[in-house]
């Protein structure tokens, strides 16, 4: 019995007091003798399925918003235009680049234009997220960016500078590990 309880404790999510009472009531009503682990899990899944169905009825009562065919075609054309421009590495007017992302890009490339930042915003955002994660984990490596002559940003890994070089802001001090 103790082994079954330990197995059930591992297999069931944490239950509230009301959920535990409801599950016990269902099991007592359905089983005359001790239920198997599979029976208990089946009752729990059924309770969760019903709960999700009841919560879902709130959304099913609302009618989805109607969109005219002209609006649907306009949106589809806009998505195709943006996808094509991004595929050709052209800038797309109207895509917003945050001030924080612009400042991060300019910490590497001070004279980088808004158009280049917009065109390379995914790489810049990935570098920024990786740098934040590496700083949190105190990683010995750091993600760096390189700008080629065509205006494309490339990411690479570099070793962090030694402690005595930590005050230097120049990315050229990093040892490249490609």
Whether the predicted pLDDT of 75 surpasses 60 = yes
User: pLDDT tens digits, residue range 41-74?
Assistant: 888 888 888 887 777 655 555 566 788 899 889 9
Distances (CA, A) of 4 to 22, 44, 99, 127: 19, 15, 56, 48
What was the pLDDT predicted at 124? 92
User: pLDDT tens digits, residue range 152-177?
Assistant: 999 999 998 766 555 555 555 454 44
pTM of the complete model: 0.44
User: pLDDT tens digits, residue range 90-133?
Assistant: 766 666 688 889 999 999 999 998 888 888 888 999 999 999 99
User: pLDDT tens digits, residue range 23-46?
Assistant: 888 888 888 788 888 888 888 888
What was the pLDDT predicted at 175? 47
Q: In terms of Cα–Cα distance, which of 36, 26, 32, 27 is closest to 3?
A: 36
What was the pLDDT predicted at 17? 86
| Residue 160 contacts residue 174 (beta carbons within 8 Å) | yes
Q: Among the residues of the chain, which ranges form H helices?
A: 2-11, 17-30, 37-61, 69-87, 99-108, 114-119, 121-137
């Amino acid at each position: 019995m103790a082994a079954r309880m330990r197995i059930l404790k591992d297999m069931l999510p944490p239950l509230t007091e009301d959920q535990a009472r409801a599950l016990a009531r269902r099991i007592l009503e359905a089983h005359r003798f001790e239920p198997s682990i599979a029976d208990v899990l089946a009752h729990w899944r059924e309770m969760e399925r019903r709960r999700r169905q009841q919560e879902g009825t709130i959304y099913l009562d609302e009618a989805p918003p109607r969109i005219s065919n002209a609006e649907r075609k306009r949106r589809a054309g806009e998505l195709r235009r943006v996808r094509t421009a991004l595929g050709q590495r052209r800038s797309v007017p109207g895509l917003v680049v945050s001030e924080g992302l612009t400042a991060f890009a300019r910490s590497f490339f001070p004279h980088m234009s808004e158009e280049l930042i917009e065109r390379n915003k995914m790489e810049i955002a990935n570098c920024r997220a990786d740098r934040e994660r590496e700083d949190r984990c105190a990683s010995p490596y750091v993600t760096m960016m390189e700008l080629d002559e065509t205006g494309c940003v490339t990411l690479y890994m570099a070793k962090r500078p030694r402690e005595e070089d930590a005050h230097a802001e120049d990315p050229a001090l990093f040892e490249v590990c490609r």
